[in-house]
């Protein structure tokens, strides 16, 4: 965070406060209101924190107007095109792209931590078979703190490092086992000779009764899904992880809190909502009807998977994801799948329609990731667990950064109180 010679002047009730300003390396200047209450006896009011910087960070930068997403300064499309997920994990965690030797060491450390403590299998059996996989993940990840006592001391840098590697390594196993338990199949253990994405696909789709070979096109598509969802600045779940961490909670509890927040349909469930919309449309011939509904302000129907709250131009992740979607659909075909046929036609129509062009409602990453996951055979209930798996490294990077920040303090948002003022207590007999 670079200091600035600029200040902002706030005038109210005959008072005049000079507030310091900070200049970031990218993005708008920031007014420091840290001492506003102490000096002016007032709070700011910012529902959703849409105009408030909650921290200083060097990890991810988003420019929604330009359609930019940078991890440590590297554009996301370049990373997704030229790197793979574990390489991006290293970048997010340590700040630089790894050398060949560093990457080999990092991949080895992750690979050697993929197995879960065997006793944790009993946790899964405690859930009903129809439990949502996200419910299972929240419980199992939170329970890791009961098994891995040697990596819960957040004041120890080495324990923080061990916890980081464990979470990145074990999350595919946790998610895959949640899926297997959900569909009633036996757990498949990880294999150390497979890459990160291939290992996850094998744990999800192989069965003991027959051999399973991971298709490299599907593995590459899954790796890109992980990469494109690795971090996204101070979103709701990341802010939840930071807030939980600010109390000194152990890393497993913090990541479980992030998973719980991501579960919300307004956050991690966007690609699921997109696919459910495609299924509601049903077949390509009904697309014109739904396009008109989307244009009608009085109609509650919304075109999911188009546009983005942050990106006002285009989602920089969507171009790379579209490439993977095309490759997967070419491999698996869409001839017998009305949902995927509808997706392809809706994409074509929306990209050509002047209404959507003018409003810059382009297909976003959720549109394409939902198509890919459905084509692979994942049920919609697994879409958000896969998102959580990918986002784990971002949460951990933000968690580690916060703990090393000298300005770190426990989160304590203020409020605009609108309830009753002091009231005298009335006994039950007189109420």
- The catalytic residues are 308, 366
Distance CA 20, CA 24 (A): 13
Contact 9, 2 (CB under 8 A): no
Q: Which helix (H) or strand (E) holds 70?
A: strand 68-71
Diameter of the chain by CA atoms? Answer: 79
Instruction: Map tokens 């990218």 to a residue.
Output: 26
- Reduced to 3 states (helix: H, G, I; strand: E, B; else coil), residue 345 is helix
Q: Each residue of 84-115: b (16+ CB within 10 Å) or e?
A: bbbbbbbbbbeeebbeeeebeebbebbbebbe
Q: Do 263 and 273 contact (CB within 8 A), yes or no?
A: no
Contact 69, 317 (CB under 8 A): yes
Give how far the C-alpha of residue 335 lies from the chain's centroid of Cα atoms, to the nearest Å: 32
- Token code pair at residue 307: 């546009």
Distance of CA 371 to the CA centre of its chain: 18
Q: What is the DSSP string of 203-251?
A: HHH--TTS-----HHHHHHHHHHHHHTS--SS-HHHHHHHHHHHTT--H
Q: What contacts 402, CB < 8 A, 6 or more positions away?
A: 55, 242, 245, 246, 408
- Cβ atoms of 37 and 28 within 8 Å: the answer is no
Q: Any residues with CB less than 8 A from the CB of 119 and at least 6 apart, and which? A: 147
Place of tokens 């770190």: 408
- CB 139, CB 123: distance < 8 Å: yes
The dihedral region occupied by 361, where left means phi > 0, alpha psi between -120 and 50, and beta the remainder, is beta
């Amino acid at each position: 965070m670079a200091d600035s010679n600029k200040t902002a002047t706030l005038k109210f009730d005959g008072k005049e406060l000079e507030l310091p300003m900070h200049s970031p390396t990218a993005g708008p200047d920031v007014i420091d209101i840290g001492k506003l209450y102490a000096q002016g006896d007032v709070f700011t009011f910012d529902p959703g924190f849409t105009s408030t910087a909650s921290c200083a960070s060097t990890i991810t930068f988003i420019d929604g107007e330009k359609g930019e997403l940078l991890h440590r300064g590297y554009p996301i499309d370049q990373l997704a095109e030229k790197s793979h997920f574990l390489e991006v994990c290293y970048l997010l965690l340590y700040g630089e792209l790894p050398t060949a030797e560093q990457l080999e060491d990092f991949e080895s450390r992750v690979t050697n931590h993929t197995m879960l403590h065997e006793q944790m299998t009993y946790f899964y059996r405690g859930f009903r078979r129809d439990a949502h996989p996200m419910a299972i993940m929240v419980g199992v990840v939170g329970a890791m703190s009961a098994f891995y006592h040697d990596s819960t001391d957040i004041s120890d840098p080495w324990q923080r490092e061990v916890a980081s590697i464990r979470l990145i390594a074990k999350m595919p196993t946790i998610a895959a086992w949640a899926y297997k338990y959900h569909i009633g199949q036996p757990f498949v253990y990880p294999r150390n000779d497979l890459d990160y994405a291939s290992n996850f696909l094998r744990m999800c789709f192989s069965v003991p009764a027959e051999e399973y070979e991971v298709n490299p096109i599907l593995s590459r598509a899954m790796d890109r899904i992980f990469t494109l969802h690795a971090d996204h600045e101070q979103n709701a779940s990341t802010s939840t992880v930071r807030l939980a961490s600010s109390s000194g909670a152990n890393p497993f509890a913090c990541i479980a809190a992030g998973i719980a927040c991501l579960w919300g349909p307004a956050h991690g469930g966007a690609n699921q909502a997109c696919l459910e919309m495609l299924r509601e449309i049903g077949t390509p011939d009904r697309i014109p009807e739904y396009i008109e509904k989307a244009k009608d302000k009085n109609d509650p129907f919304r075109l999911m998977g188009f546009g983005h709250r942050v990106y006002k131009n285009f989602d920089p992740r969507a171009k790379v994801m579209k490439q993977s979607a095309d490759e997967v659909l070419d491999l698996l075909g869409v001839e017998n799948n009305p949902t995927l046929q509808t997706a392809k036609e809706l994409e074509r129509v929306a990209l050509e329609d002047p209404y959507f062009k003018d409003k810059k409602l382009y297909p976003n990453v959720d549109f394409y990731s939902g198509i890919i996951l459905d084509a692979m055979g994942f049920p919609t209930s697994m879409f958000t667990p896969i998102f959580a798996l990918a986002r784990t490294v971002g949460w951990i990077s933000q968690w580690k950064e916060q703990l090393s920040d000298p300005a770190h303090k426990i989160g304590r948002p203020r409020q605009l109180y609108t309830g009753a003022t002091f009231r005298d207590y009335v006994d039950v007999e007189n109420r």
